[in-house]
Chain A
Amino acid sequence: MKNYLGRLGLPRKAETQVVEAALERALGGAHDTRNLNDAKAVLSDSLTRTYYERTHLQYDAICAALSCLDSPEAQNTHRWKERLVQFDPADNEPLT
């Protein structure tokens, strides 16, 4: 799961116009625009943005609960740590 909003330096509930402006700015100076194009496709459509945001919330929650996977009884069949790498503030590189 890619944390588009975090990498644009925006909160999960950022206004559509703010997101669009940030995307335009990022697209202007990017060499590899694949991620940015994906981000634009998902975040520009209200339906996909809605469900992206809701999934984003669950990833934020899972990030907070990640230590639960350290329990001996827990499993990690979805390699959550790797999926959450972009939700870790320390690892949040700009989206370019």
Chain B
Amino acid sequence: MTEESYLNHKLTKTMVLPLAAICAGFVLTIVLFFATTGSAIADAYSELSATDKAYIDTQCLPIQYKEGAAAFRQCVIEQTESLSAVQNSAQTSLSFDEQFAVQQFCQSVGNPGSEAHENCANDQINSLQVVPDTDFSQVADDEIYALQQGCYSIQTRAGVRAYRECVNTALGALAEIPRPDLSTLSLLDKNALQLRCSALHDEAASYRSCLLEAMDGAVAPTTAAGSDDVVDDTAALDTASGATETAPLTNAEAAVSTSPLPDTTATEIASPEPVEVPTSAVEPVTNAAPDTDEPTSLPIEQPLPENTIASSEPDDTVIDQLIPVADSQAVTLESSTDTDNVVEGSDAGSILDKARNAGSSMWAQLQASAASLSNMGKLIMLAALALPLCLVGFWLLMRGRQTETPYEPAPYPNPLIDRVGPSQQRRERDVDYDSMASGLDTPDYAEQVDELFAQDNSTRLVKPDVAPVPTTVRHQAVTKAPDRGRISSWLVEQEPAQQLSLAIEFMIYWTAYADERYEPGLRQTIFALKDPDQHELIKRWVLKQDTQAFAEITSWLQSRTTADQREQILNLLMALLVNENAMTPAQNTLLRFLGDAFGAGNEKLDALYREAFGHPMPELPRTDKPLWWQQQAADDLKRWDARTVSRQSNDLQYRVRLGLPLTEALEEQQILTHFQRAVDRCNPQKLDLLTHRERMLVDRQLEKFEQAKNGLMEAFV
């Protein structure tokens, strides 16, 4: 190599790579800027609450229905902007639950963003001036959850003031009952007891009394809020490791151990799953200062930042206690040497305090900025930050090697190729409304089974362990409910915003599977899953034909929804699962019972059915009577069997879908009339009191009706 080429080579090594790194970072930052700006509306929409999204759907889906996609998009943008503007108002000073109470109360007076709505919201906020703030600092998370459950109906109907008063009253009642000492229970027993009491009692005070009674009145020592949780979990850990084997058996343990086992299949008995751990019991206590004396006794599932772990050294603990909570995050980012300097001199301390404050402020801003980004934005930002570092690192590596062998280009294997390969082969699991819808009306069973087999079963077939288990496994036990036991207990542990949708999902599956609208292999697959998600758990309950689960969900819907919502659930089931002229005996029986249980009665149900299908609802079927069978038309029997229909020609499937005659020639007007009825069943205004998910399901159903209409109309083109 000549001197010139050597210099060029060196210049490349020393200048180009750092410049490339800087340029790449610059370009990615610009891309990030445009990506985040361009998706501002989408981000704003995604950040809205489920209630707000549901509201926007209510407003905009009829527009999509009448005026098309462009008008729908414009409507969503306008509604999102107006809602975002409202959310930036004084409401943000309220807690999430109180904001929800305001939204629920004011949604009836006008659209969010309107003057009437804003006045209502302001009135609601002003009404809080005479009610003292709610103080959850002396209450454990599971009890906060019980408090919120007890006041839920007031929260959704009576406004924010009544809600806060309800919570405060419940807090007062709770304060009069001593806090039970659960520290002698293992983590599993504690959570089983909490579940049991939660299922039996809606009020926080009675919930605590239940715990106290089960513990034989053992009272926890007076400590800061949340610390009992810490102690409890520590004890649980100790128990798990066998440290408390000699602990006396309390009533609670006896109750847990003697509680009757629910009906389980042989498969489930052979592969028991861990007892459900309520999420609320392990969520980090945000109102309480961290217990620095026992840093390792934090709830397992609480994310432990690395800096927290670093600060758990005994020598630093005392110093940490002297530092205000607000600054602790910034402090813990520093090295222990820096922390030691805090106590050496006042000057050094003040400088460090300033630096710490500045660091804390920057860290808070960074966190706020990161929180405001969408997932894609975060990904791009991480890439933008990581790429220059990777390039600089690569350059330094090259430089180091250059010292050793300046002229020889070293072969650099790319380990990323090996690492990326397998993960690319892995498919994401997504049991959302799309796949659910595809499994309901058009029984694409292969797709349904595919969706399940797309899992990485090797990670899901984890044998549960009673002994101390890794944090990740414990986390699964917390986030995933067991498949056995009362579905109502499981349901109340889910996010409140999801509960209605999950209960309705159960009813949808119950109605669909009543006529065995599933591939036979699905049953085996679902029961083999070791880590089922919410939707798979619901399927499991339904596939088990768990009539008690049906009863609990019916009761839940009966007590947690309004009469109008229940009427809309009946409309939904008819729109999704009943084809015209093809109501099966099971569907008929079920809808007639639900009609009664939901307060509609025979007359109202018949009216709903007539509106949906244009003719009276068939009488209650008598499948036990040979005479009744003789009265059934042969065509009807063919339509009932969805699995057989799904294997017929498209023409026949389309006819069944729209309730048209199966064999005779069709007229254009006939098709359009049946299609119009199907469209009317899917009118979003008939479902405006349900959740976004149900409306999306009906949207998918509407597409299938359109497909059927278009397919049949081709003969007339």
Contacts and interface: CB of A to CB of B under 8 A. Distances in A.
A30 interface: no
Contacts of A4: 624
Nearest to A41: B626
A38 B597 contact: no
B590 interface: yes
B584 interface: yes
A73 interface: yes
Interface string B545-557: 1011011001100
A49 to B, nearest CB: 9
Given A48-B623, A51-B584, A64 B548 contact: yes
Interface in A29-88: 38-39, 41-42, 47-48, 51-52, 54-55, 57-65, 67-69, 71, 73-78, 80
Contacts of A48: 623, 626, 629
Contact of B596 (A38, A47, A61, A69): A69
B547 A42 contact: no
A10 interface: no
Contacts of A54: 514-516, 584-586
B597 A68 contact: yes
Interface residues of chain A: helix, strand, loop or mixed (majority): helix
Nearest to B603: A77
Interface string B617-643: 000111111100100000001001000
A13 to B, nearest CB: 9
Interface residues of A, number: 33
Interface in B461-520: 510, 514-516
B589 interface: yes
Given A1-B624, A42-B629, A80-B593, A65 B602 contact: no
Contacts of B596: 69, 74-78, 80
Contact of A73 (B545, B595, B599, B602): B599
B550 A64 contact: yes
Interface in B569-625: 584-586, 589-590, 592-593, 595-603, 620-625
Interface residues of B, number: 40
Contacts of A65: 547, 550-551, 554-555, 593, 597
Contacts of B554: 65, 68
A1 B622 contact: yes
Interface residues of chain B: helix, strand, loop or mixed (majority): helix
B555 A58 contact: no
B626 A38 contact: yes
A75 B600 contact: yes
B30 interface: no
B297 interface: no
A2 B624 contact: yes
A95 B598 CA distance: 34
B85 interface: no
Interface string B521-554: 0000000000000000000000001011011001
A47 B510 CA distance: 21
Contacts of B510: 61
A74 B602 CA distance: 11
B310 interface: no
Contact of A57 (B545, B563, B600, B601): B545
28 contacts: A1-B624, A38-B625, A42-B624, A42-B626, A48-B626, A51-B623, A54-B515, A55-B589, A57-B514, A57-B547, A57-B586, A61-B550, A61-B551, A61-B590, A62-B589, A63-B547, A64-B551, A65-B550, A65-B554, A65-B593, A71-B599, A76-B596, A77-B596, A77-B601, A77-B603, A78-B592, A78-B620, A80-B596
Given A65-B555, A74-B596, 14 more contacts: A1-B623, A4-B624, A42-B629, A51-B586, A54-B515, A55-B589, A55-B624, A58-B589, A58-B593, A59-B589, A64-B548, A75-B600, A77-B603, A78-B592
